[in-house]
Each structure stands twice: as C-alpha cells, then as structure tokens.
Chains A and B, each alone.
Chain A
Amino acid sequence: MSEAATLERQTTELVFELQQGRVFFALDEDLYPRDAIFGAAYLFVDRCWVFLTRPADGQVGVRLRAKDPSADEATLTALAGEFANELLNQVVRIRVAESTAQIREFYMAKAFFADQAQSSIDALLAELDAEELAEDDLAIEVPWEDPDA
C-alpha cells in the first residue's frame, strides 16, 4: 500500500447538532486550539451569524446561523462539513506557524532590519544607489522618523 493510501485511511470524527436553522459544534480545546476555532469561525462571517459560547470548561461552542433564511437541512449539513474542514486546516496552519515562528522572526528581521547579507543583484543595486546618492543634497537617506529631517 502506498504512503498516500495509508494517510488517506486515517480519519477524524466530529459531532455537530442541527437546531432550527443553526449548526452547533462543542469543540474541545485540547484537540482544537482556541485560535484554530476562532480562525475557522471568522471565515464564515460572510455567510453566517457566528456565536461563540463556553458550554463547559475547556470547550468552545460554535453556533453558525445561516444568513440566508431559506437554508434547509442539506445546506446546513454542507455548511457543517465546510466548517469542520476549515477547522482541521486551521489546526494545521497553527501548528506550522508555531513550529516556524522563530525561523520566520529570524529571516524577517534579517530582511527588514539587519545589515544585509545581500544577493549579488542587491549588492550591485546598492552600489549604484550609493554612487548616485553620494551627494545627498535632498537628504534622501535621512530616515523620515528623524525629527531633524
């Protein structure tokens, strides 16, 4: 059996309730970090009224009410499926973001703030700029934050 097929067989189950034009999930924060729940819920604010509750310690309740009042059971079930999918995606995103936070901080800082280890093109451009701005009559190089600028 291929690796992809092995992965395909692994599944997650998620329970939801349908109640009078609404979908309700009670989500365990141990399984679904709060940011993942908020992140998923946020993406539904165009189609749904979203209510978040605290049904029990360590749980977040997500109630989605379709803005379209004619939404039937099939529509709401599809909505629940979409939300569940998005929730799982958000969990992946958060795990990737958390595990790469320091790496990103490092390369972002290097990109924007540090003395650059420049690529050859950047080095060349910088050299040309330096030549052009050698006489900086207009104080182009003075940072705009400088009160004396």
Chain B
Amino acid sequence: MSTHTLTLPHRVVQTDHLGFFRYTDIGHGKVVLTNDAGEWSILPEATFRAFLAGQMGTDHPDYAPMAAKGFFRDALDLDDMAAKIRRKRFYAAQGPHLHVMITTLRCNQSCRYCHASREDMTKSDVDMSPEVVRHAVDMAFCSTSPYICFEYTGGEPTANMEAIQLAVAYANHKKKTSPKTVDHSVVTNMSFMNEEVAEWLMDHEVLVCTSLDGPKDLHDWNRGWQKREYNFPRGVPMAGSSAYDQVLRWMAYFNRRYIERGKDPDLWHIDALMTTTRRSLPRAREIVDLYVELGLRSLKIRPLNPYGFATKTWRQIGYTMEEYLAFYEEVLDYIIELNLQGVEIQEGTAAIFLQKMMTPFDPNYVDIRSPIGSGTGQVAYNFDGRIFPSDEGRMLAGMGSDFVQIGTLGETSYAEMIGHPTVRSLVMSSYLDALPACHSCFGAPYCGVRPINNFMESGDLFAQRPNTPKCAEHMGIMRLLFDRLAQDVEGKVEAIFRRWTIQRPRDDA
C-alpha cells in the first residue's frame, strides 16, 4: 500500500449571488453552464471561477447576457424563468401525440439488426383487423394532446395497406368534429410500393419515411430479403434484386411526384433513417455523400439498440459506444464542413438537441425528453389490440415482460391506459430532475433516458446512468455540440446550427 497526496485547485463558492445552474468542463479550458430554462453559457475556466466566487462584476462582458439568462440571483426574474420552463415543458400538460400502429408483423426483409418479431408474408393472423384499427383511432382521438400523429409501422406496414387506408379514412371522418391537428406517416422499406399505393399516400398526405443505411453494398448487407419466393415483392425478380434499388427507385418517384403536384420540396420529400452497423463505421463520408447526392436534407444517424442479439450476430454488426461516437463525430464534422461550403444537410439527432439548446421551444421528440414520451407522449397499438407505451415496450413484451402492456383496445378506457401503473413508473424513472447523476448533469435540460431500454439491459427501469449506452450517447453528442460552439470564434457554426433548428410546418406548403 502507498499513500499519495493530490493538490487540486480549490473552488471558492459564494452561493448567495448565484442562480441555480449545472455545469461541466468541456475541454480546451472551457466550462459550459446550463439552467432549468435550458439557457447556457460557455465560459473560460478562469471566468467560471470568478463567477463562482462572486467576483464577476456587472461590468464584466459576460455579466449582462448571463444575468438575462438567469444565472445571477440578484438579476433573476422568477416569472420569466417560470414562463420559459413552462414553454419548454409544454408537453407535460398535453398527452400522447404519437400513436404508433403496428398494422402487421409480416415483413419480407430480414434485417441484421431487427428486433421486431417479424413473420413470413404468408401469415394471415398477424394483421391488424378493421375492428382494432377503429378502436386505435378512437383511442388516439381521446388523447388530451391537440396534435396527434399516426405512425404506421410493422413488420412492413404497407403489407396491410387496408389497415392504413381504413385508419386514414376513419381519422379524417373523426377530424371533422375535432379541433385536433392530425398527421399520418408510414415507415416503409418500399418493397411493396407500387404506383397505386404511392399515389394514394400522396393523395392523403401521408408522410413517407424509409430506411437508407448507406451505399448499395452496405444497405443490402444490412437489409437482406427473407429467402423465400413468397416473401418477395410484387413484380420484382428474386435473383439479384436489391433492397437499395427499391428504396432509391421509390424515393425518386415520390420526390418527382411531389414536385409535379406543386408541393414545396423543402417540406414534402421522402425522409430516411440510417441505422449504424459495424460496417458503417469506416464509411462516414460515403454515407453523407450519398444522402447529399440524393437531395436528402437530413441524415439521422442511429446506433443499434444493443440488447438481445446473439453473440455471433453482435460480433458481426456491433461496436462499442466509443466507436459509435467517433463515427458520429466524423459524420457531424463532415456535415458541418459541407454546410460551410453551402450544402444544405443536417444531422437529425444534433438538430433535436440544438432545438432544445438554441430555441425557446422543445421539439417534443418522445425519446429525448423528461419525462420520456413512453405512455405520456406516445402509445403503440399492436396488431392484436394490445396497447404498449411505445414500440420498444411491444418488443419487451415479446421477450416475456407482460407488465409493459398498459391496456387492450376495446376494453381499456383512455383514463385507465394513461393512468396505468406502468406509465406512472415510466414517468418516475425518467424524470431527470430526480434521477441520480442526471439531476446535476449539465445536459439535464436537453436530455432523456429510456427506462424500457434500461429494463431490457439490467432488469431495472432506473438503471445506473453511467452504465447505460443512451447516457453515453447523449452526453457525447451534447459535449460535441457545445465544443463546436465553444471553438466557433467567427459564429459560422452557430449560424449553421441555428438553421438546423428551423422547422416549418407542412401546412405552410
């Protein structure tokens, strides 16, 4: 045993002049401070110490902006602070706006990272029935949220187009007597798309989102077909066919037709989601270039949900969070570089955090908010009528955890569903102001934890923050964004980031 002595700089703190804030050292001698209203300041370490010690005078250049943000107690406007917090957390007074409908479990693809319990295309008992569709729409319209969005997913949701068509028609009918704003979106692999379906989706203003993981070889490796003739898309020869080609063909079709229909292409275009596998890691620039080439304005990089894979599969597709964050950083920096050259593209997850950091509002993204959206911001309706707090909840139920079911369509009332003990537990286990580590983390005003994810990994809705991949991911992204802002002496990066926060509603078009 040996004894050692550490000599550390002492932090003198004069608390009586300070408002509440959280902080972290982001490197390069800079400290970022945040507060409950989501306001932030980046200070050099020496200025931060002077701030703590009550030695930052009113004549200091940082004083006035920091006072306006609520960092000094003597300048704190409590009403203004309350109004800002209320605006940021408006969702707490609303209700579920995202209503996920799993129209079928059938799917003809066999993605390497898929967690959904998919079934062969010949199965007929895994489709949502008309009765369940109507109950789901009725339930969604009971929501206290003034805005609702139906998201059709699966399986491959368009394999049960009848359910989507009925849901849209029934929702449109109900909307006639409801003040709600209603959107519909479908998440499709495009393999069952044909002109009739595409035109119908456009006629009914159903937003279309697809998956595009990168260049052809990468996308097709990630997202193979199920190898049986009957699982195959209509009219597409099985031999040599490529999922990538299908996606590109239909993206081009939709984007062309939106323009022909007089829609603003900034608002009406196909959105794509990208899932990262091990093979994506060395190809950051190629992936961004592909998105730019296809005219996509947003690339949302997503990590794998790391639970439940066989070791062999994980070895093929998995990676550590450090590897993922290095990849993310490369993508982000390349996208910033392109923006500086005048190319318009954004990284989707960064845009979510930046909206929280740089605007008075919150995008109400259900997976990154406090409390989490599961049950209070979104609900998932399984094909068989079982209700879950999110699609992830459905997957957890598939792994044998029944507690996550919060009702059954046709039997459970809205009040019972939303007041279900599981929903309450999800709120409690994701309210950041009351969670160890989060309550004092600089990222708390912007972040969100995922209790169901936690449960899948550790059997505990709360879990230990430093051991959860989502904490590492969000922390890493927030640090990166603040770091890029801290190093941005000319304000060029800030201008780009501000552009990413602008959201125009589609009904502008």
Contacts and interface: CB of A to CB of B under 8 A. Distances in A.
Interface of A: 3-4, 7-8, 10-19, 39, 42-47, 77, 80-81, 84-85, 88-93, 95-100, 103-104, 106-108, 110-112, 114, 116-119, 121-122, 129, 132-133, 137-138, 140, 144-147, 149
Contacts of A114: 82
A117 B83 contact: yes
Given A18-B2, A44-B466, A13 B7 contact: yes
B79 interface: yes
29 contacts: A3-B55, A4-B47, A4-B50, A7-B46, A10-B9, A17-B3, A18-B1, A42-B436, A43-B437, A47-B466, A80-B6, A85-B8, A97-B20, A100-B19, A100-B73, A103-B78, A107-B82, A107-B85, A108-B85, A111-B86, A112-B85, A117-B82, A133-B179, A137-B177, A138-B142, A140-B179, A144-B415, A145-B415, A149-B415
B9 A11 contact: yes
A118 B414 contact: no
Given A3-B50, A15-B5, A144 B20 contact: no
A96 B19 CA distance: 8
Contacts of A14: 5-6, 8
B15 A96 contact: yes
B22 interface: yes
Interface of B: 1-13, 15-16, 18-23, 36, 46-47, 49-50, 52-53, 55, 73, 76, 78-83, 85-87, 89, 92-93, 95, 141-142, 144, 146, 177-179, 414-415, 418-419, 436-437, 440, 464-467, 472
Contacts of A117: 79, 82-83
A40 B489 CA distance: 33
A142 to B, nearest CB: 8
B464 A103 contact: no
A149 B417 CA distance: 12
Given A119-B83, A129-B146, A13 B73 contact: no
A96 B20 contact: yes
Q: Does more than half of chain A's interface fall in helix, strand or loop, or is it mixed?
A: helix
Contact of A112 (B19, B92, B178, B418): B92
A47 B472 CA distance: 13
B10 A12 contact: yes
Given A19-B1, A103-B73, A146-B415, 5 more contacts: A15-B3, A80-B6, A103-B76, A107-B78, A140-B146
A110 B36 CA distance: 13
A99 B15 contact: yes
Nearest to B24: A89
Nearest to A23: B4
B21 to A, nearest CB: 7
A144 to B, nearest CB: 5
Nearest to A90: B440
A81 B89 CA distance: 38
A124 B407 CA distance: 37
A8 B49 contact: yes
A42 B466 contact: yes
Contact of A11 (B3, B8, B21, B49): B8
B414 A149 contact: yes
Given A90-B440, A144-B144, A7 B466 contact: no
Contacts of A8: 9, 46, 49
A8 B76 CA distance: 28
B249 to A, nearest CB: 42
A69 B479 CA distance: 29
A129 B2 CA distance: 68
A80 B95 CA distance: 46
B4 A15 contact: yes
B216 to A, nearest CB: 38
B437 A42 contact: yes
Nearest to A83: B6
B80 to A, nearest CB: 8
A134 B414 CA distance: 22
Contacts of A97: 20, 440
Looking at A7, A77, A92, A116, the one whose CB has the most chain B CB atoms below 10 A away is: A7
A60 B179 CA distance: 59
B413 to A, nearest CB: 8
A132 B179 CA distance: 7
B419 A144 contact: yes
Contact of A108 (B36, B80, B419): B36
B437 A4 contact: no
A98 B437 CA distance: 16
A136 B259 CA distance: 39
A99 B16 contact: yes
Contacts of B15: 95-96, 98-100
A74 to B, nearest CB: 12
Given A39-B440, A90-B440, A118-B83, A103 B20 contact: yes
A104 B36 contact: yes
Contact of A80 (B4, B20, B418): B4
Enumerate the 9 nearest inter-chain pairs by beta-carbon distance, A residue then B residue, closest first: A110-B82, A99-B15, A4-B46, A100-B20, A46-B466, A111-B85, A10-B10, A111-B82, A19-B1
B86 A116 contact: yes
Contacts of A89: 11, 23
Nearest to A39: B440
A122 B418 CA distance: 26
A96 B21 contact: yes
B437 A7 contact: no
Given A45-B466, A103-B76, A77 B10 contact: no
Nearest to A136: B179
A142 B24 CA distance: 42
B151 to A, nearest CB: 21
Contacts of A100: 15, 18-20, 73
Looking at B5, B21, B144, the one whose CB has the most chain A CB atoms below 10 A away is: B144
